[in-house]
Protein backbone atom coordinates (compact mmCIF):
# COMPACT_ATOMS: atom_id res chain seq x y z
CA UNK A 1 0.00 0.00 0.00
CA UNK A 2 2.40 2.71 -1.16
CA UNK A 3 -0.03 4.49 -3.51
CA UNK A 4 -0.84 7.23 -1.02
CA UNK A 5 2.77 8.57 -0.92
CA UNK A 6 2.85 9.41 2.77
CA UNK A 7 5.58 8.10 5.06
CA UNK A 8 4.59 6.26 8.23
CA UNK A 9 5.59 9.36 10.21
CA UNK A 10 3.40 11.59 8.03
CA UNK A 11 0.46 9.20 8.40
CA UNK A 12 0.91 9.24 12.18
CA UNK A 13 0.99 13.06 12.20
CA UNK A 14 -2.14 13.34 10.06
CA UNK A 15 -4.15 10.91 12.19
CA UNK A 16 -2.90 12.53 15.41
CA UNK A 17 -3.89 15.95 14.08
CA UNK A 18 -7.34 14.78 13.01
CA UNK A 19 -7.96 12.85 16.23
CA UNK A 20 -9.04 16.05 17.98
CA UNK A 21 -12.50 17.48 17.22
CA UNK A 22 -11.33 21.10 17.46
CA UNK A 23 -8.55 20.47 14.95
CA UNK A 24 -10.98 18.70 12.61
CA UNK A 25 -13.26 21.73 12.84
CA UNK A 26 -10.39 24.15 12.20
CA UNK A 27 -9.34 22.07 9.21
CA UNK A 28 -12.91 22.08 7.85
CA UNK A 29 -13.21 25.84 8.23
CA UNK A 30 -9.86 26.50 6.55
CA UNK A 31 -10.39 24.07 3.66
CA UNK A 32 -13.46 26.11 2.61
CA UNK A 33 -11.63 29.44 2.80
CA UNK A 34 -8.61 30.85 4.56
CA UNK A 35 -9.18 32.31 8.03
CA UNK A 36 -7.04 34.43 10.27
CA UNK A 37 -6.02 32.86 13.56
CA UNK A 38 -7.95 35.67 15.30
CA UNK A 39 -11.12 34.72 13.40
CA UNK A 40 -10.60 31.07 14.26
CA UNK A 41 -9.98 31.89 17.92
CA UNK A 42 -13.28 33.78 18.11
CA UNK A 43 -15.13 30.57 17.17
CA UNK A 44 -13.95 28.57 20.20
CA UNK A 45 -14.23 28.81 23.95
CA UNK A 46 -10.46 28.77 24.43
CA UNK A 47 -7.57 31.17 24.36
CA UNK A 48 -5.92 32.53 21.23
CA UNK A 49 -2.75 30.65 22.26
CA UNK A 50 -4.66 27.34 22.48
CA UNK A 51 -6.08 27.80 18.98
CA UNK A 52 -2.61 28.71 17.76
CA UNK A 53 -1.29 25.42 19.21
CA UNK A 54 -4.02 23.47 17.39
CA UNK A 55 -3.06 25.24 14.15
CA UNK A 56 0.60 24.34 14.76
CA UNK A 57 -0.31 20.63 15.06
CA UNK A 58 -2.28 20.85 11.79
CA UNK A 59 0.59 22.71 10.15
CA UNK A 60 3.12 20.06 11.26
CA UNK A 61 0.89 17.43 9.63
CA UNK A 62 0.81 19.62 6.49
CA UNK A 63 -2.97 19.84 6.67
CA UNK A 64 -2.86 23.65 6.77
CA UNK A 65 -0.47 26.39 5.73
CA UNK A 66 -0.03 29.84 7.22
CA UNK A 67 0.67 32.95 5.18
CA UNK A 68 1.18 36.44 6.44
CA UNK A 69 -1.24 39.09 5.22
CA UNK A 70 -0.28 42.35 6.85
CA UNK A 71 -0.41 41.83 10.60
CA UNK A 72 -2.54 38.68 10.34
CA UNK A 73 -1.62 35.09 9.70
CA UNK A 74 -4.08 33.42 7.34
CA UNK A 75 -4.57 29.69 7.80
CA UNK A 76 -5.58 27.72 4.70
CA UNK A 77 -6.36 24.04 4.34
CA UNK A 78 -3.85 22.12 2.24
CA UNK A 79 -5.76 20.29 -0.49
CA UNK A 80 -2.79 18.17 -1.73
CA UNK A 81 -2.42 16.60 1.72
CA UNK A 82 -6.17 16.03 1.87
CA UNK A 83 -5.96 14.20 -1.46
CA UNK A 84 -3.11 12.02 -0.15
CA UNK A 85 -5.15 11.17 2.95
CA UNK A 86 -8.15 10.38 0.77
CA UNK A 87 -5.98 8.02 -1.31
CA UNK A 88 -4.66 6.41 1.88
CA UNK A 89 -8.17 5.78 3.18
CA UNK A 90 -9.19 4.50 -0.25
CA UNK A 91 -6.33 2.00 -0.12
CA UNK A 92 -7.49 0.83 3.32
CA UNK A 93 -11.04 0.51 1.98
CA UNK A 94 -9.84 -1.62 -0.94
CA UNK A 95 -7.88 -3.86 1.42
CA UNK A 96 -10.90 -4.45 3.65
CA UNK A 97 -13.25 -4.96 0.70
CA UNK A 98 -10.83 -7.59 -0.64
CA UNK A 99 -10.71 -9.29 2.77
CA UNK A 100 -14.50 -9.21 3.14
CA UNK A 101 -14.85 -10.68 -0.34
CA UNK A 102 -12.46 -13.48 0.62
CA UNK A 103 -14.47 -14.23 3.74
CA UNK A 104 -17.69 -14.26 1.71
CA UNK A 105 -16.11 -16.69 -0.77
CA UNK A 106 -15.04 -19.04 2.05
CA UNK A 107 -18.50 -18.92 3.61
CA UNK A 108 -20.15 -19.67 0.27
CA UNK A 109 -17.82 -22.64 -0.30
CA UNK A 110 -18.63 -24.01 3.15
CA UNK A 111 -22.36 -23.53 2.47
CA UNK A 112 -22.12 -25.47 -0.78
CA UNK A 113 -20.27 -28.33 0.92
CA UNK A 114 -23.04 -28.92 3.47
In a domain? residue 67 = yes
CATH number assigned to the domain comprising residue 47: 1.10.10.10
- What is the domain range of residue 78? 8-113
**Is residue 29 a contact partner of residue 43, using CB atoms and an 8 Å limit?**
yes
In a domain? residue 106 = yes
In a domain? residue 92 = yes
CA distances from 95 to 4, 14, 77, 100 (A): 13, 20, 28, 9
- How does pLDDT run along the chain (114 residues), one tens digit per residue? 444 577 889 889 999 999 999 999 999 999 988 999 999 999 999 999 999 999 999 999 999 999 999 999 999 999 899 888 888 889 888 988 888 888 888 888 877 766
Cβ atoms within 10 Å, residue 41: 18
In a domain? residue 96 = yes
In a domain? residue 2 = no
Residue 92: its pLDDT value, please? 86
Residue 114: its pLDDT value, please? 60
In a domain? residue 1 = no
Residue 2: its pLDDT value, please? 42
Task: Tell me how many domains the chain contains.
Answer: 1
Give the gyration radius of the chain's Cα atoms: 20
In a domain? residue 3 = no
Amino acid sequence: MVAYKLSEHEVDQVFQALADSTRRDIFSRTIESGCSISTLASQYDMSFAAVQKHVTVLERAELVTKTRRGREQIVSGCVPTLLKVTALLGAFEQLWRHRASGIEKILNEEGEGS
